[in-house]
Amino acid sequence: MTLAKIALDAMGGDDAPSATVTGAIAALTGEGSLSAERVILVGREDELQAELDKAGGNPGFEIQPAQEVVEMGEDPRKAMRGKPNNSITVATQLVKEGRAAGAVSMGNTGMVVAASTLLLGRLEGIRMPSIAVTTGITGEPMVIVDMGANVDATAENLVHNGIMGSAYASGVLGHSSPRVGLLNVGEEPEKGPKRVKEAHAMLADTQLNFVGNIEGGDVFASAADVVVTDGFTGNVILKLMEQFGGFLLEEVVKSAKAASVDLPREALLPVIRGLDYAAYGGALLLGVNGTVVIGHGRSSSRAVANALKQAARAADAEINAQIISGLKGIHLD
């Protein structure tokens, strides 16, 4: 059996194509390593070849030319029209044509979402794609979904987030029966905004291992493997956690220094690693026909490697088939 390929937008991200090419090479080793034949590099051939030469030659990657590059701040709609041959669109096109099972990009997030939604289309029954992010702060990987694709989520969108996040947590992260928690302002089902109260009732009716409402603080109490929320709240809390972690560690170092305590960086490494989103690759765009991983623009080659491995795991686990079967278990208008 030939395993499906993953198309890497080799031009996306602040340090592309250097970080993307060396990341693809790094994905060939370590836990969950991929064979070179599974990776398609998408981008400007000459630039990619130059990076490969620097790294000692092409280990066997397929190269798919794409001359245009969408910049980080560019408007996705304009870029879709004005740069039809950009690396994000070309990588997504490979998935649409079945030449790849998944695409990975560290580039313009809005552009990846737009290209995936338009070219691949939504999974049957899913109204809005969502972005799932994995954090390992508590020691156990935990999925937060949605982290920004759909800021005006309805109750039904929230239920879909639960189904999609659960499929991801079991297929990719290895949770056997992922505990799905609904982010809310209190434990009681009657608390919270209208959409969240409705989602609570609907989630209780699914086949999911729904553990009920969880509060902001429970995110660090390992209360759930999948945290269901709307794209507004998810985006705010993820950016907040990212900043807060770094901020607090700086304060700790300052405070220790002021107290004349020698606190070497190495002593904080386990905490820093827990805060490291790169360890789990990128964010998964859920709800589209295909596997799409969106990495941070600042991704290192290690983050690129992990994103490629993550995309391969998600494609191999056929989580989209799981999502479709999960949707059949519920009855929503």
User: Site residues (CB under 8 A) for its own copies?
Assistant: 137-138, 148, 151-152, 183-185, 192-194, 196, 215-221, 229, 231-233, 235-245, 247-249, 251-252, 254-256, 258-259, 261-264, 266-271, 274
Closer of 145 and 319 to its own copies (Cβ): 145
Return d(Cα 276, Cα 183) in angstroms, integer.
Answer: 22
CB of 271 to its own copies, least distance (A): 5
- Closest distance between its own copies and the C-beta of residue 228, in Å? 12
DSSP 6-63: EEEETT-STTTTHHHHHHHHHTTSSTT---GGGEEEEE-HHHHHHHHHHTTS-SS-EE
**Which residue, 37 or 188, has its beta carbon nearer to its own copies?**
188
The residue (of 51 and 146) whose beta carbon lies closer to its own copies is: 146
Shortest Å distance, C-beta 268 to its own copies: 6
3-class SS of residue 85: coil
CB of 286 to its own copies, least distance (A): 18
Q: How far is the CB of 109 from its own copies (least distance, A)?
A: 10
Q: How far is the CB of 308 from its own copies (least distance, A)?
A: 27
One-letter-per-residue 3-state SS of 180-202: EEEECCCCCCCCCCHHHHHHHHH
Q: Which phi and psi (to 5°) does residue 88 adopt?
A: -70, -50
Residue 207 and residue 229 in contact, taking contact as beta carbons nearer than 8 Å: no
Pick 231 or 326: Cβ nearer its own copies: 231
Up-side HSE of residue 190: CA atoms within 13 Å toward CB?
0
* DSSP category for residue 128: S
For the CB of residue 213, give the shortest distance to its own copies in the complex, in Å.
11
The span from the CA of 153 to the CA of 17, in Å, is 35
Give Dmax (Cα) for the chain.
64
Nearer to its own copies by Cβ, of 211 and 249: the residue is: 249
Q: Could you tell me if 276 and 257 are in contact, meaning their C-beta atoms sit under 8 angstroms apart?
A: no
Task: Please say which residue, 183 or 317, places its beta carbon nearer to its own copies.
Answer: 183
Q: For residues 88 and 214, which CB has a smaller minimum distance to its own copies in the complex?
A: 214
- Least Å from the CB of residue 294 to its own copies: 15
- At 178, give phi and psi (nearest 5°): -60, 135
- Nearer of residues 65 and 274 to its own copies, judged by Cβ: 274
Whose tokens are 């807060």? That residue is 244
